[in-house]
Structure 1
């Protein structure tokens, strides 16, 4: 341990040698960059001293140790980020597999701007819009610390680091250890008159051992059973021009009269009718995880480690209808009526609609509105690391990993719950078997010894990185939605590969001044891309793109307790395989991807100040992010916005397209404060506050959006977490999180955020 009067820059250098073992399974260059600094002042009770990453790192950071994570309900691994500064985790319920990350300049609609590593192995799932990092590969009991790096300022990380980079480190046992955990949750839910209770349970076991021979191993088993509250609702909103519901000119049967429709005002301020929790709204998920890790030290300076993880999930998604007929029976679909529909002054040709009537209004309620679904999937990840650990001089490492979706079977019914789960119905089967990614990383470093850090000395890091993603998404029509392979109706497939060379030099200009320069050169390749839908096949040619990412950071230790840092960097985020090739078609929607998408290019700059006291730390950061060709996925009913859509296609309810936005600029300020022994002995406090302005500055494809707020980036975020160590056995804690105004509509038309469908 070090006393708080040691100069912080010397402390960081010493930790590069003595603390590197804490980041035990990453590349040697990443080890050095993520080596924690420990500053101790007054006794912090059970929590010890303040810990953070080295202050000389390029860009701002945030950290949580295992002890600090005890101050929050760590039900799932992603909960470790809930109180991180200026960060959002889109976890809607316990067991949510789509817990996406959002940060300073990006929302949860841009998940590919966040990198997540587990012991140096990439668990970021850059395959689809709602493919979140594979958090399940993390064992909550084994988490040693979580470190976050903001912005594209380090050359060691791929272009997806233009947002946030998360590094989760799991502990290595120091001897024999065994533990277990049982945790449960229950919530009361009341929305639109529907009341219910939903529960979650989790059991886990952890076993570890370290032998005198240098061999260590751990095993973790986790079982979780949880049910979500309703995730979405079947609804119809009024016309944007008249604020009146769409009208139907019935030409045959009589629509079904119903009661139970709930009316409210939607996010855009329009009158809305709610029919129930639909589209597989309630998710009952059972998940099992097995994580195995092992390592061996061949010599005092050479060691290897490996991991093997398996995760399985079975899901049943059901629905709730609010509607009742005259006899009080539930109504799940409307009567089939031949009619013409008029919406926003446009009348369609006559075709069949499934209609219900309520208080003089006609509403469309097709059989698919309350159709249930199931999912059965199993995932596997394998990884291995070999590295040297010399205290100074040359070091090297090799890290390889492979993530594979062994089985992914998603079945969707075409009829509502009573029919689908009763006599059965037709449906669709979506498969992604064999989909996954693999990574390869070779790193080398040269570091002077701690006593050799004279003026003008350099610490070097360099490496070769490769990652490759494969997506194979097929859809088949089935006569029985619960079994059988069916007949192929559509697919989209493709592969991407990124190969990068990088180098970074930390140059000690003076005792109190360090300049870090870096360069990352990346080559992106998209190939084997194809689509099949509506009996048409598209084969896309191979594309090759280049990315050039210079980095620079200057850190000045003004005093022993004050560091100023100026960081600048470019990051190039290439489009993921789903953004390039997804061509999904349903009965009411169609997705248009763009195989010619440009990569997002972020030019970011940050000025930060970090002040330390005996038992407190305050960081203030000013940041600016200028993103060119930002990738936007937009769902709209306006066929003119998705330029690849024919405006005569009037039978679809909405279109989804992926496009480049010419320029988005984000500017903000961020505060992060940690304190121990605050006023009362045993009291600790972590708090953060951020103000952000993120707007579209240029968009030739859709000029109406210029000047609007960028999607799902709130104007302010705030967190506060307080802990109290009563004695050696008892600790109490409380936390609060806040997010301010944000938008879900590219034109910021969602003026009423505090309702279902709003973002607030």
Structure 2
């Protein structure tokens, strides 16, 4: 099966190349891309444009609403030249301080790690695609809370911008880690693209050794006719993955074919097999429509569909002749690792925006996300010679969220000239529906459902008003002040375990979050910005109400959680380096009261992990970030960029801490490292463009190890469930044969560094791609194709002439 899909992907790529080779080389000089790592630039004009990037490189949405945040950006050209991209989340891998916990190609649990928060904090950052919120604020974890990256195909992306810190009043308290804005493109002429990508990973660990593959086929077509523009894209991916987890005995007894290891606490944990060996098919389809009512008012509508169909089959390491699942203590691990998952999601987004850059502009947007289908079926356990027919079906059907935003900005003249006053109204609604059904036949799903094993459901709603004034009171100074008022409520909470049903009380909170920023630009080379902001992060539905078992780990909700309150500050100092570079250093500090943190410990006498979510009185995250970029270093066409981040994250007070029976000597966690955040991170990338055809990139990434418990007792590393340090080197060679045809070859994790972030992460992976694109414009004599290439386009011209 695997070979068939691999050959199919390679054949599609070969067909793409053969069809395109009738076009002879021709190339027009293009400007080199940049990665902006500085603070949002100051005002530079108000030319009306629908481009996502202003002429000075500023993200259009940042300039429009005068957002005070430090911004780092990556453009479509950067993505094509420098980054090996299989999934959309790959595009942020070299941005300062960021890391995405992408375990495998097609991962549905890829959480964004930010400057101050780690991979278990999905609700402490926001990921948007245009006006659609991809972050699933129904949870704050590595599973259901991860952004729905699959709803955006990489080929749609025009640029990606990261806004650091909760300093903009228009974003909720979930922005305390930052806001990642993905801007997709709309055509201004007829364009057609096709791309084939193949990745190959040579994986070897414990008893698993195989060649893993992913094939991605992308196509899009779009046009602009008068005031109406449209864009249709489709993305199909088929792949196989390395094991995501392992079956272990939790004891020190060895078996033929097993592997000696420990768990993250250093206790014996013999590995007897691998689980989470996924083979999946994913489809993304998108329709985008836009209509220009005038040169400055545009309406857009987006309809998106995503589906995922995957199967995981465990691999038993025990030697031939050994009864398949004779190790009773590992049977539940094998059972939970054998499953079928099917998901279908639908999104709708509608927006009407003005872009006059004059006295007044507005934006009205609404978005809705819904799970059409989401079920994971699996047996209850493995038996001595197979699997139980009885099983369970975990479902999220009926889970959804909706958002409405009304925004405006006034740029007065006269005595109030220099003020840019923005304001808005926000509403959101998040609903979780998560029953886990017992079944007589897990392969039949709901057709054989017998009873509820666990059930969690609930709703949160927020209504918010915000306002912000960006005041240029002096040619060298800009002062931004704002605030956000929010009313939040949680309702309809219900938990069920077996026959026991508990209806949870409703919760209500009203909070105000002030913001302030002062920017000083003493000359054209220096920019110094100081920012401070309060962020109120309300609990998610899953933190409040969801009772479930994930990867053999019991997850307990807490219906009495208090909102966490974070006071964040940053001092950013930026210096331009000539006309093609800059360097920035940011000192940041964040103090969080009532931090909502989930903690895991083993249930006494078992190897079953139990997770409990609670409020920690006070933690502090402080550190420094250095980011830089410079073009034409030593020779023309050589670009260097990179960043380095140090974070000191500590628990300052936790009155609710209770020592576990396994570690009774840990009587306090004060002074311990905050879970799931590394101390050091750095990236370094070099790109050389010897001419307009070639781009050669080498990049390195490092991240320090992390603790996963409040008492920092997970002392082992390099084992399943540990969070290790890693150092990986990536390369990419991009070749643009002409303006229509391009190829790329790259290697991720060239040095084949083997590490765990709970799960084993990908080893050395080879990535190949071929892309073909063409367009046509309209002239006085009708339709004609771009370029003067002979061959295929001559044939088209001849056909049109006839």
TM-score by length of 1: 0.84
Aligned-partner SS, 2:520: strand
Q: In the alignment, is residue 706 of structure 1 matched against residue 706 of structure 2? A: no
Provide the residue aligned with 2:56 in structure 1.
Answer: 38
Q: In the alignment, is residue 301 of structure 1 matched against residue 296 of structure 2?
A: yes
Whether the aligned pair in 2 keeps the contact of 1:19 and 1:36 (CA below 8 Å) is no
CA distance in 2, matches of 1:429, 1:266: 28
Give me the whole-angstrom Cα distance separating, in 2, the residues matched to 1:446 and 1:618.
33
Partner residue in 2 for 1:425? 389
| Structure 1 residue 14 displacement after superposition | 2.7
Q: 2:350 aligns with which of 372, 379, 384?
A: 384
The answer to whether structure 1 residue 220 and structure 2 residue 184 are counterparts is no
For the 8 Å contact 2:217–2:237, the answer to whether it is kept is: yes
Matched residue SS, 1:575: coil
Work out whether residues 175 and 208 of structure 1, in 8 Å CA contact, stay in contact via their aligned partners in 2.
Answer: yes
Q: Does residue 1:282 correspond to 2:277, yes or no?
A: yes
| CA contact 1:296–1:305 (8 Å) conserved in 2 | yes
Report the CA distance shift for 1:36/1:133 in structure 2 as closer, same or farther (over 3 A). farther
Within the candidate set 114, 117, 125, 2:125 is matched to: 114
- The CA deviation at 1:741 is 2.6
Of 587, 590, 596, which aligns to 2:554?
590
Partners of 1:605 and 1:272 in 2: CA distance: 43
Say if 2:116 is the partner of 1:102: no
**Which ranges of structure 1 fall in alignment gaps of 5 or more residues?**
24-34, 40-48, 239-244, 247-256, 336-353, 355-362, 640-649
User: Match for 2:457 among 466, 490, 493?
Assistant: 493
For 1:459, the equivalent position in structure 2 comes to 420
* Cα shift readout 1:540-598 (whole Å, capped 9, x = no counterpart): 12211112100000000021110000000011111110000012259975332111101
Deviates more, 1:262-271 or 1:108-117: 262-271
- 1:173-232 per-residue CA deviation (whole Å, 9 max, x = no partner) reads 1101110110001111111243111111100101110112x1000010000001110111
Task: Return the match for 1:65 from 71, 75, 82.
Answer: 75
Residues 61, 417 of structure 1: CA spacing in aligned structure 2 closer, same or farther, 3 A cutoff? farther
In 2, the alpha carbon distance for the partners of 1:18 and 1:417 equals 69
Aligned match of 1:332: 324
Match of 2:583 in 1: 618
- Following superposition, the deviation at residue 752 of structure 1 comes to 2.9
> How far has the Cα of 1:302 moved from its partner?
1.8
Aligned with 2:544: secondary structure?
helix
> How many Å separate the matches in 1 of 2:216 and 2:151?
15
Residues 1:233 and 2:246 aligned together: yes
3-state secondary structure, aligned to 2:394: strand
| Post-superposition offset of 1:320 | 1.0
CA distance in 1, matches of 2:708, 2:39: 43
Q: Is 1:313 aligned with 2:338? A: no
Deviations along 1:14-49, whole A, 9 cap, x unmatched? Answer: 35x2375233xxxxxxxxxxx65626xxxxxxxxx9
Any residues of structure 2 matched to 1:262-281 within 5 Å, and which? 262-278=259-275, 281=276
The answer as to whether partners of 1:411 and 1:481 remain within 8 angstroms in 2 is yes
Task: Please tell me the root mean square deviation across aligned C-alpha atoms, in Å.
Answer: 2.6
Q: Following TM superposition, by how much is the alpha carbon of 1:455 offset from its aligned partner in structure 2, in angstroms?
A: 8.7
SS of the aligned residue for 1:38 comes to coil
Matched, 1:322 2:317: yes
Deviation of 1:637 after TM superposition, in Å, equals 1.6
2:332, 2:382 within 8 Å by CA — same for their partners in 1?
A: no
Shift of 1:322: 1.1
Judging changes above 3 Å, is the alpha-carbon distance between structure 1 residues 329 and 671 closer, same or farther for their aligned structure 2 residues?
A: same
| Cα distance in 1 between the residues matched to 2:489 and 2:410 | 31
1:60-86: CA deviation from partner (whole Å, max 9, x where unpaired) = 211111111121012111111111101
**Are 1:184 and 1:202, in contact at CA under 8 Å, matched by a contact in 2?**
yes
Does structure 2 retain, via aligned residues, the 8 Å contact 1:36–1:52? no
The residue that corresponds to 1:79 in the other structure is 90
TM superposition shift of 1:10 = 12
1:282-681, aligned counterparts within 5 Å? 282-324=277-319, 328-329=320-321, 331-334=323-326, 354=328, 365-366=331-332, 368-369=334-335, 371-416=337-382, 425-448=389-412, 457-485=418-446, 486-489=449-452, 490-584=454-548, 589-613=553-577, 614-637=579-602, 653-681=608-636
- 1:349 aligns to what? none
**3-state DSSP class of the match of 2:548?**
coil
What SS is found at the alignment partner of 1:559? Answer: coil
SS of residue in 2 equivalent to 1:188: strand
* Counterpart residue number, 1:126: 137
Counterpart check, 1:733 vs 2:697 = yes
Q: Which runs of 5+ in 2 are unaligned?
A: 1-30, 658-666, 726-802
| TM-score w.r.t. length of structure 2 | 0.80
Check conservation: 1:311, 1:379, Cα contact below 8 A. yes
Contact 1:525–1:545 (Cα < 8 Å) also in 2: yes
- Deviation, structure 1 residue 370: 6.4
* 1:146 counterpart = 2:144: no
Contact 1:496 1:526 in 2 (8 A): yes
The CA distance in 1 between the partners of 2:213 and 2:715, in whole Å, is 33
**1 CA distance for matches of 2:237 and 2:471?**
49
Asked if structure 2 preserves the Cα contact closer than 8 Å seen for 1:334 and 1:366, the reply is no
Equivalent-residue separation in structure 1 for 2:298 and 2:309 (angstroms):
38
**Distance in 1 of aligned mates of 2:427 and 2:619:** 29
Match of 1:171 in 2: 185
Deviation per residue, 1:389-428 (Å, 9 max, x gap): 222101112100100101112101124499668xx71111
Whether the aligned pair in 1 keeps the contact of 2:40 and 2:62 (CA below 8 Å) is no
For residues 22-37 of structure 1, the aligned pairs below 5 Å read: 22-23=51-52, 36=54
Q: Deviations over 1:710-741 (max 9, x none)?
A: 11211111111211112222211121111013
Change (3 A) 1:371 1:136: closer
Relative distance call for 1:628 and 1:137 in structure 2 (3 A) is: same
Taking the aligned partners of 1:538 and 1:110, their CA distance within structure 2 comes to: 27
Contact 1:50 1:615 in 2 (8 A): no
Offset at 1:364? 5.5
Give the match's secondary structure for 2:313.
strand
Q: 2:107 & 2:95 partners in 1: Cα distance?
A: 19
CA contact (8 A) 2:377 2:445 kept: no
Deviations 1:524-548 (A, max 9, x none): 1101110110310000122111121
Assess if the C-alpha contact under 8 Å between 1:370 and 1:417 holds in 2: no
Look up the SS of the partner of 1:578 in the other structure: helix
**Are the counterparts in 2 of residues 52 and 62 from structure 1 also a CA contact under 8 Å?**
no
The whole-number CA distance in structure 2 between the counterparts of 1:624 and 1:107 is 16
More deviation, 546-555/390-399 = 390-399
Question: Are the aligned partners of 1:381 and 1:401 in contact in 2 as well (CA < 8 Å)?
Answer: yes
